[in-house]
Amino acid sequence: MSAPDRFPPDAKIPREEISRATRHIFLCAGPDCCDSAAGERLWDLLKAETRKLSVPVLRTKAACLRICRAGPWLVVYPDGIWYDRIDARKLCHILKEHIEQVRPVRDWIAADMPNLAMCRLPAPDQHTSPKSHSSSATS
């Protein structure tokens, strides 16, 4: 789908890791929604725990997810699930239940994005050429 020559060869993360990932986890580690030191400790735990998972995931530390209250926040894509007030216990439970067992922790969901599933790109073999769109528009 993407051109191999567009991906930087010296990127910090190999392209193959991106291709294999089943989820992308974002952690807002403060400073506005929570204490920055606590957010950093949680980030260190997230890095350590994701390395142990049985499924490949990506993780990204965010400085702000624009909630700015009740943090740290954890967002799981492509599911579009937002968890608030994350601590070490919650983080480990979410990684086990939501990430490995694909069962979001319903009692802890603060927000979700149900329309996100409609935004997915079609499979490469389902792409239509621009000609097919224009010919149907002129009939």
Residue 31 lies in a domain: yes
Q: Write down the pTM of the prediction.
A: 0.79
Residue 56 sits in which domain range? 19-115
- Examine residue 13 and state whether it is found in any structural domain, yes or no: no
The CATH number linked to 96 is: 3.40.30.10
Euclidean distance between CA atoms 87 and 77, whole angstroms? 19
Q: Dump pLDDT digits (tens) for 51-80.
A: 999 999 999 999 888 888 888 999 999 999
Residue 102 CB: number of other CB atoms within 10 A?
Answer: 11
CA 2 to chain centre: 19
Number of domains in the chain: 1
Residue 94: inside a domain, yes or no? yes
Whether residue 25 lies inside any domain: the answer is yes
Q: Give φ, ψ of 126 to 5 degrees.
A: -100, 0
Cβ contacts of 120 within 8 Å, gap of 6 or more:
78
Closest CA to 26 of 87, 72, 90, 93: 72
pLDDT tens, residue by residue, 3-55: 657 888 888 888 889 999 999 999 998 889 888 999 999 999 999 999 999 99
